[in-house]
C-alpha cells in the first residue's frame, strides 16, 4: 500500500486530504510535532512514504503580536527545513514532495500568474518567500517538488467560511471596509483534486497558484453569501475595528491579492467550482 505522510494533518485542509487519499487506497500518516524534532524518526517516516505533504503552520487569522509573528514564521520555515533535512538523510526518497505557500506572496497591484515575480515586501510575503525557498531545497535531492500557493480555502466544517457564516446567518454580515479588496479562494473539493492531479501528472513540478480561475472581491463574496443564505448584507465592518482586534494581522482580511491558476489550467486541470457563486451555493446548501 502506498503511503502519504502529512504535516498539519489535523487542520481543516489536512483532514480533508487525509480522507481523500484514504478513499483512493493510500495509507495516510500524520507527522506529529515531536517527530519533526527527531530527525531519525522523521527520516524513517519519509523512507516509507511515496508522497510527503507539508501543511504545517500556525493559524494566520489571529492577532499578530511580535511573539505570534515569530510562531507564524517558525511553524512554517523550521518545519519545512526539518522535512528537507530528513529527506536528505533518508535512504529511500519520496517520489513527490508538495509544500504549501500562499497567494499573500504577491502584491495587490494586479492579478498574478505564477510567471510573475512581483512580490509584496510585507511580513506575510517574506514568510512565503522563505517558506518556498526551504521547500525547493528538496529539488537538489532529486525529489519532484511542488508548491501550492493557497487562496482562501472554503468548504463545509471548517476553514475561513465557518468563521464568516454566523454573522451572515444572523443578518449582520457585510463587507470588510469598502469591499473592493481582492479575494482569491479555492473550494476544498478542487483543492484535494489538485493534489491528485499533481501526483498523477509526473511531469509537473514547481509553483502553482491554487485558487479558482475566476477570483472575486470581498464585496463579491459578501453578495454571494447573502444570496445563498437569503440574508441582508448591509453592515460593513470598519477597517479600524479589525486593526484593533488583529493588529497587523488585519492585513490578511483588508488587503487581498488576486491570483490566477494559469499553470494548473494550462496543464489540463478542470475546476468544479470556478466562480464564487457556485462555490458558496454548494457549501451553504
The arithmetic mean of pLDDT across residues 55-61, rounded, is: 89
pLDDT for res 244:
67
To the nearest whole number, what is the mean pLDDT of the chain?
A: 92
- Half-sphere exposure for 217 (CA within 13 Å, toward CB): 12
User: Among 146, 173, 107, 101, which residue's Cα sits nearest to residue 269?
Assistant: 146
Average pLDDT in the 50-67 region?
Answer: 91
What is the Cα–Cα distance from 283 to 154, expressed in whole angstroms? 8
Residue 203's pLDDT band (cuts 50, 70, 90): very high
- In degrees, rounded to 5, the angle at the alpha carbon of residue 212 between the alpha carbons of residues 268 and 28 is 75
The band of 66, judged by pLDDT with boundaries at 50, 70 and 90, is very high
Answer yes or no: is pLDDT of 57 > 90: yes
**Domain coordinates of the chain in residue numbers?**
3-218+246-284
Taking only the tens place, the pLDDT of each residue in 95-141 is 999 999 999 999 988 999 999 888 999 999 999 999 999 999 999 99
Indicate the pLDDT class of residue 188, thresholds 50, 70 and 90: very high
Spatial neighbors of 145 by CB under 8 A, at least 6 apart, are: 96, 97, 98, 99, 135, 136, 138, 139, 205, 206
Q: Mutual orientation of helices 123-136 and 66-89 as an angle, nearest 10°?
A: 10
> pLDDT at position 240, please?
64
Phi and psi angles of residue 269, each rounded to the nearest 5 degrees, phi first: -70, 135
Give the model confidence (pLDDT) of 237-248 as tens digits. 777 666 666 777
Q: What's CA 224's distance to the chain center, in Å?
A: 22
Half-sphere CA count of 172, side-chain side, radius 13 A? 4
Q: How confident is the model at residue 254 (pLDDT cuts 50, 70, 90)?
A: confident
CATH topology of domain 3-218+246-284: Rossmann fold (3.40.50)
Query: What is the model's pLDDT at position 150?
Result: 97
Q: Residue 205 has what pLDDT?
A: 98
- Does 76 have pLDDT greater than 70? yes
The whole-number pLDDT of residue 55 equals 98
Confidence of residue 92 (pLDDT cuts 50, 70, 90): very high
Q: Which carries the bigger pLDDT value, residue 18 or residue 230? A: 18
Amino acid at each position: 500500500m502506498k503511503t502519504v505522510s502529512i504535516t498539519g494533518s489535523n487542520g481543516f485542509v489536512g483532514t480533508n486530504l487525509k480522507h481523500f487519499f484514504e478513499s483512493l487506497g493510500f495509507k495516510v500518516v500524520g507527522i506529529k510535532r515531536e517527530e519533526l524534532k527527531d530527525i531519525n524518526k522523521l527520516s524513517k517516516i519519509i523512507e516509507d512514504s511515496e508522497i510527503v505533504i507539508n501543511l504545517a503552520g500556525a493559524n494566520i487569522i489571529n492577532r499578530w503580536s511580535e511573539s505570534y509573528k515569530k510562531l507564524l514564521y517558525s511553524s512554517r520555515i523550521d518545519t519545512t527545513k526539518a522535512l528537507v533535512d530528513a529527506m536528505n538523510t533518508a535512504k529511500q526518497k519520496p517520489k513527490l514532495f508538495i509544500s504549501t505557500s500562499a497567494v499573500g506572496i504577491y502584491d495587490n497591484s494586479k492579478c498574478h500568474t505564477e510567471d510573475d515575480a512581483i512580490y509584496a515586501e510585507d511580513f506575510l510575503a517574506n514568510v512565503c518567500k522563505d517558506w518556498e525557498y526551504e521547500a525547493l531545497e528538496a529539488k537538489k535531492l532529486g525529489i519532484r517538488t511542488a508548491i501550492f500557493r493557497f487562496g482562501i480555502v472554503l468548504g463545509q466544517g471548517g476553514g475561513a467560511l465557518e468563521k464568516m457564516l454566523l454573522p451572515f446567518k444572523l443578518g449582520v454580515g457585510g463587507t470588510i471596509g469598502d469591499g473592493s479588496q481582492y479575494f482569491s479562494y479555492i473550494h476544498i473539493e478542487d483543492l484535494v483534486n489538485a493534489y491528485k492531479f499533481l501526483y498523477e501528472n509526473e511531469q509537473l513540478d514547481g509553483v502553482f497558484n491554487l485558487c479558482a480561475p475566476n477570483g472575486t472581491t470581498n464585496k463579491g463574496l459578501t453578495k454571494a453569501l447573502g444570496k445563498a443564505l437569503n440574508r441582508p448584507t448591509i453592515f460593513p465592518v470598519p477597517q479600524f475595528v479589525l486593526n484593533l482586534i488583529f493588529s497587523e494581522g488585519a492585513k490578511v482580511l483588508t488587503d487581498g491579492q488576486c491570483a490566477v491558476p494559469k499553470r494548473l489550467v494550462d496543464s489540463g486541470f478542470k475546476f468544479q467550482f470556478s466562480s464564487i457563486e457556485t462555490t458558496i451555493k454548494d457549501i451553504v446548501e
